[in-house]
Structure 1
Amino acid sequence: MICDPGDEKDESAADIPAPAVTISCLARRGERLVPSVRAAAEETAVAFSFNGSTHAVMMATPADLGDFAVGFALTEGLIETPADVLSLEVIAARLGSGAGVELRMWLPEGRAKAYQARRRTMAGPTGCGLCGIESLEEALRPAPALAPNAGGGFDSSAIPAAMAALAGAQALNARTRAVHAAGFFTPEAGLVAVREDVGRHNALDKLAGALARGGWRAADGIVALTSRVSIELIQKAARLNAPVVAAISAPTAAAVRLAEACGITLVAVARGDEFEIFTHPHRIIERTRNHDA
């Protein structure tokens, strides 16, 4: 059975850190330094293990860990659906320098063999999605191509609507001003899901898990991001079969090349009603509005 952290029966789940803590500081107010407090986003070492072997260790926000586990496995190509995870345990661990979390998953034999064939170990700081990869080719691995008609078309007004909805749904960032968010928006349903994390790629992994576990198809909407768009985010979006990725910041050149190659419509610098389309603009439709003379 796949368990969310809140459903985990192991008593160690109660030891998982909160996603934010209150810390003391000195704040300059006017011309004086005064004692103050601030909410700070937590960073926790999160280890992903498959069939007893550690695959990756990431620094991440300790929230939505069940979604994180499934989404990471999906976007890394280790599974195709949540049903490929036979069991999932979220286990708190005490480390010399603090608390950690192990996401312990078991895969069926066929998936386990595929995993062993491309096993890698990563140990990196927050926001680093490609640390420790043993092969440079693995870092630049091609992404699966989307079908030319994937996702249909979206009215151009859907982009600012998605970004505005995402901005209003970032509860953790409103407290800490220190985390990224990834959201999924459809014109019919609005903002379906949002996940936050100190790492931008972690937020997207959590969103991937939430969509898969909730039965939503990324092909039916827009993936919205609060960060710049780097190559690993396009790799993950392609694994989700997401036809449109929209972000508040600019893309890297490598991300643009990969989005073009795999068929993703990449929209970036999306602020207010303005945005820029870098690849496959056919999915963004500007409606002609007639006005009475």
Structure 2
Amino acid sequence: MLTDPSEGTAFPVVRRTAVLRLEQGRAEACDDLVIEEVPVALVYNRISHAVMLASPENLDDLGLGFSLSEGILAGPDELFDIAVKEGCDGLEIHMDIPLERFTALKDRRRSMTARTGCGLCGVEKLEAVARVKDRVVRGAPVPVGAVTRALAGFAEHQRLHRLTGAVHGVAWVDRAGTITAIREDVGRHNALDKLIGWMARTGADATDGFVLTSSRASFEMVQKAAVAGIGCLVAISAPTALAVRLAEGCGLTLAGFARDERIVVYSHPGHFIV
């Protein structure tokens, strides 16, 4: 029986709704769970910088991860304080950051009112898109069997996806194939930012494993991973050509079409060992 993991909480992650299920010529009125999609404002030093649609869960991780992957902060120690508050039409993540970082943020003049899955809104010049300055350190090679083991348990770890079927999951996996953390969101970029926030908050070694994502590998997914120092990204779906070029250029190992015992490696294949 489906259960609602957010019943009784201030910010429900899923919501129960009445539906009509049609199957094999039969009609059945029943309840179903749908994922919440909430406007979330990222507020730095009391000034709103970006608004995105996100799942209202692990928002502290989202705020920190977004700040790091977007290059707003250089490290988690620059986030002095963070608090999630209710706004007029959604939620607000309030963050206190150093004055010099806030000044640089204002100078970028990026007002990113983003829809789900949009990560380039507000970028004024194309050259501003690529924020990866240094090559990624990949660490020790990853056995292909570790990907297979992670895939076998991936669905089990995706709690919100099991309930609603409407979210992406992004997991951190060690070289033995054990999923040590997972974050979910309606937006794949948000899910990755949440995971990056968790890694920064817990001090996880970004060279000691790989990221597994239920989505395709877009340019921004590769960019966010590289900025966070993650050396290997494995996607269940396909990459884009721009994502492959960025991964090749910055030293990140990028794999796609991870299904059962198969993966397709698009850049730096020597990082995987059979």
Please confirm whether the aligned pair reaches a TM-score higher than 0.5, indicating the same fold. Answer: yes
**Which residue does the alignment assign to 2:232?**
244
Query: How do residues 1-293 of structure 1 correspond to structure 2 at under 5 angstroms?
Result: 16-95=10-89, 100-138=90-128, 140-147=129-136, 150-188=138-176, 190-286=178-274
Deviates more, 1:250-259 or 1:47-56: 47-56
Q: Distance in 2 between matches of 1:198 and 1:60?
A: 6
Q: Assess if the C-alpha contact under 8 Å between 1:46 and 1:57 holds in 2.
A: yes
Q: Assess if the C-alpha contact under 8 Å between 1:93 and 1:102 holds in 2.
A: yes
| Deviation >3 Å, runs of 4+ | none
* Structure 1 SS opposite 2:171: strand
**Which residue does the alignment assign to 2:5?**
none
Shift of 1:146: 2.5
Shift of 1:34: 2.3
Q: Distance in 2 between matches of 1:144 and 1:153?
A: 23
Letter in 2 for 1:182: V
Letter in 2 for 1:176: T
Encode CA deviations 1:258-291: one digit per residue, 9 max, x unaligned.
Answer: 11111100011000000100000111011xxxxx
Shift of 1:154: 1.0
Q: Assess if the C-alpha contact under 8 Å between 1:143 and 1:262 holds in 2.
A: yes
Q: Assess if the C-alpha contact under 8 Å between 1:49 and 1:105 holds in 2.
A: yes
**Which residue does the alignment assign to 1:291?**
none
What stretches of structure 2 of length at least 5 have no aligned partner? 1-7
Q: How many residues align?
A: 267
Shift of 1:163: 2.5
Shift of 1:77: 0.7
Q: Assess if the C-alpha contact under 8 Å between 1:55 and 1:119 holds in 2.
A: no
* Structure 2 SS opposite 1:218: coil
Q: Distance in 2 between matches of 1:200 and 1:266?
A: 16
Shift of 1:124: 2.4
Shift of 1:252: 0.6
Mark the CA change 1:186 to 1:15 in structure 2 (over 3 Å): closer, same or farther. Answer: closer
Q: Distance in 2 between matches of 1:33 and 1:257?
A: 49
Shift of 1:109: 2.0
Q: Distance in 1 between matches of 2:133 and 2:233?
A: 15
Encode CA deviations 1:177-224: one digit per residue, 9 max, x unaligned.
Answer: 000011000025821110000000000000000111111021111011
Letter in 2 for 1:135: K
Q: Assess if the C-alpha contact under 8 Å between 2:146 and 2:176 holds in 1.
A: no
What stretches of structure 1 of length at least 5 have no aligned partner? 1-13, 287-293
TM-score under structure 2 normalisation? 0.92
Deviates more, 1:180-189 or 1:48-57: 180-189
**Which residue does the alignment assign to 1:9?**
none
Identical positions, percent: 39
Q: Distance in 2 between matches of 1:122 and 1:108?
A: 21
Shift of 1:134: 3.0
TM-score under structure 1 normalisation? 0.87
- Aligned-residue Cα RMSD (Å) equals 1.6
**Which residue does the alignment assign to 1:6?**
none
Q: Distance in 2 between matches of 1:269 and 1:38?
A: 30
